[in-house]
Amino acid sequence: AQSVTQLGSHVSVSEGALVLLRCNYSSSVPPYLFWYVQYPNQGLQLLLKYTTGATLVKGINGFEAEFKKSETSFHLTKPSAHMSDAAEYFCAVSLSGGYNKLIFGAGTRLAVHP
C-alpha cells in the first residue's frame, strides 16, 4: 500500500530564504507524485506533479520538486520565499496504471516572516 510522510508539520522561514518541504513516499509500484497548496478557507490547488520523464519538475509560483527514486523522496523547494507563500502544503501519491486515487500526507504548514 502507498503512504506519504511529510517531515515537519510546521516550517518557518524568513522572507527571501530557501523553502524546503520534505516528502517521502512508500509505493510498491512506480508512483505518481503531487504537491498541493491550501490557503486558509480555500480548496487545494495543484502546485506540480511528477508522472514520468524528467525527475525535476517545475510548478507554479516558482516551486519545483525532484523525484529521487533511490531515496523515495519528492521534496518541494523554492529559492526565495515570499510572504504570500504562507499556506499549508500537502504531498500526495497515486499509483501509476491505476485511477487517480490520491493518498495525502499530513501536511506542512509554512510560515514566512519578514
Partner 1 sequence: EAGVVQSPRYKIIEKKQPVAFWCNPISGHNTLYWYRQNLGQGPELLIRYENEEAVDDSQLPKDRFSAERLKGVDSTLKIQPAELGDSAVYLCASSLDLFSVGVYEQYFGPGTRLTVT
| Chain positions contacting partner 1, by CB under 8 A | 4, 9, 32, 36, 41-46, 49, 51, 90, 92, 94, 97-102, 104-107
User: Chain centroid to CA 2: how far?
Assistant: 16
Q: How far is the CB of 100 from partner 1 (least distance, A)?
A: 5
Which residues, listed in sequence order, are joined to residue 105 by a DSSP beta bridge? none
Q: How far is the CB of 99 from partner 1 (least distance, A)?
A: 5
Please identify, using beta-carbon distances, which residue of 9 and 61 lies nearer to partner 1: 9
The radius of gyration of the chain from alpha carbons, rounded to an integer in Å, stands at 13
Pairing of strands 103-104, 44-50: unpaired
Return the closest-CA partner of residue 104 out of 37, 30, 29: 37
Provide CB contacts within 8 A for 62, sequence distance 6+.
78, 79, 80
Alpha helices in the chain (DSSP H): none
Q: How far is the CB of 83 from partner 1 (least distance, A)?
A: 22
Please identify, using beta-carbon distances, which residue of 13 and 89 lies nearer to partner 1: 89
Please identify, using beta-carbon distances, which residue of 15 and 64 lies nearer to partner 1: 64
Q: How far is the CB of 78 from partner 1 (least distance, A)?
A: 20
Please identify, using beta-carbon distances, which residue of 69 and 101 lies nearer to partner 1: 101
